[in-house]
Amino acid sequence: MHVDAGREDGWHPHRHVSGAWADAQRADAGRGDEPHHGAVAAPVAAEQPYPGTVSPRHPAPLPTSLTELDRTLVMGVVNVTPDSFSDGGRWFEPDAAVEHGLQLLAEGADILDLGGESTRPGAARVSIEDERARVLPVLRALVGAGAVVSIDTSRAELADEAVQLGAAIVNDVTGGLGDPRMHATVARSGAVYVAMHWRGPSAVMDDLARYGDVVAEVSDELVEQVALAEAAGLARESIVLDPGLGFAKPGADNWPLLAHLDALQAVGLPVLVGASRKRFLGHLLAGRDGQPVPPEERDAATAAVSALAAAAGAWCVRVHAARATADAVRVAAAWTLARRTDATMTGDDRG
Ligand code: PMM
């Protein structure tokens, strides 16, 4: 497994200060015919011109290839499903899924999130056998190609198998509510655990979307899940929180969650944001006829959310199209670094 479980300094913003600025500069220099960003970041030789870091803290057991990055990470989505809302089964065949994953890496994704079960509203569950058959061959191939892979599953048994095959992250859209064995299983595995806010299965989640104060309730409910995870043996520093945009959240409830990411960050754990191509963006972009734009026309809006979420300190953004978001997080890193260091710069430093 590609993990660095032994980070002794684990739980604080890392100190590789050259990343963000140099990353932004490298992205600039790398236009033309060169591959975009590349799956494996080249060592950063440039000097850090200004003090400070922009990184939100990384979860402790993350592979060192990623903890070295001083910016918000990009998670590219590989749905091996026939019916996801976002890409409608385009990557259902294993070869197509692997190829798509490699393409996302080439476009600048840092992590690939591999899922075999659609979570679109109203979706029925698939059997564990089907889920396993969909994701494990693709996982083997992507891990073999050197990718950092996250397994998007709410089943402990499958999460365990995936980590044994090299997945570094377990992304659980139920935050542990879907399978009582999940927390203890991930704890034993040593993987990073993404706990998403969840109120119930896709088939009924729209009926569970009743909030007084959506920001406070989502934070409080995630804090409860973290307490359960810790009680089951999961180390706090391996947990990432996710507000679960679109999951039991009608359109209007998603914006306060994005606008107040700081409330979730105040819990003290890294935050992952999954806004990509979601319904609330489709509705935002609707034309005069009021019809939401289709998922594949929501990528520019997704990249805008990525930039804003990164500037707000999100640890990672989960997206279907990696390239624009890979650019967006670099812009946000350079922007944030410049703001943080403004006060310490002299006139001569400003170029
Ligand atoms: N959204 C989807 C699936 N998995 N996982 C996390 N952590 N956060 C999300 O917002 C999220 C997720 C929705 O389906 P998709 O795979 O088509 O985006």
* Nearest alpha carbon, ligand 1 atom 11: 274
User: What is the residue with the minimal CA distance to atom 15 of ligand 1?
Assistant: 86
- Residue 101's pLDDT is 97
In the prediction, which pLDDT does 351 show? 57
DSSP structure class, residue 84: -
Residue 143 has what pLDDT? Answer: 98
Q: Which residues make Cβ contacts (< 8 Å) with residue 1, sequence separation at least 6?
A: 163, 164, 166, 167, 168, 190, 191
Alpha helices in 34-144 (DSSP H): 64-67, 94-106, 128-144
Q: What string of DSSP letters covers 219-259?
A: HHHHHHHHHHHHHTT--GGGEEEE--TTTT--HHHHHHHHH
Q: How far is the CA of 36 from the CAs of 146, 324, 334, in angstroms?
A: 17, 11, 18
Cβ within 8 Å of residue 300, ≥6 positions away = 324
Q: 78 alpha carbon to ligand 1 midpoint, in Å? A: 10
Chain-centroid distance, C-alpha 28:
24
Q: What is the pLDDT of residue 10?
A: 28
Q: Show the beta-strand stretches assigned E in the chain.
A: 73-79, 111-115, 149-152, 169-172, 192-196, 239-242, 272-273, 316-319
On whether the CB atoms of residues 298 and 284 are closer than 8 A, the answer is no
| In contact, 118 and 84? CB cutoff 8 Å | yes
Q: What separation in angstroms does the CA of 118 have from each of 67, 87, 127, 160, 194?
A: 30, 11, 12, 20, 17
Measure the CA–CA gap between 111 and 77, rounded to whole angstroms. 9
Q: Could you list the pLDDT tens digit for every one of the 351 residues in the chain?
A: 333 333 223 222 222 333 443 443 333 333 334 434 433 333 333 333 334 455 568 999 899 999 999 999 999 999 998 876 666 677 778 899 999 999 999 999 999 999 999 887 777 789 999 999 999 999 999 999 999 999 999 999 999 999 999 999 999 999 999 999 999 999 999 999 999 999 988 778 888 888 999 999 999 999 999 999 999 999 999 999 999 999 999 889 999 999 999 999 999 999 999 999 999 999 999 999 999 999 999 999 999 999 999 999 999 999 999 999 999 999 999 999 998 876 565 556 565
| Beta-carbon contacts of residue 207 (< 8 Å; ≥ 6 apart) | 200
> What pLDDT shows up at residue 125?
86
The reply to whether ligand 1 has any atom less than 6 angstroms from the CB of 185 is no
What atom in ligand 1 is closest to the CA of residue 79? 16
Pocket test for ligand 1, best of 75, 196, 264, 278 (most atoms within 8 A of CB): 196
Amino acid in the structure at residue 36? H
What is d(CA 135, CA 290) in angstroms, rounded to the nearest whole number? 37
**At 302, which helix (H) or strand (E)?**
helix 299-311
Domains detected in the chain: 19-342 (3.20.20.20)
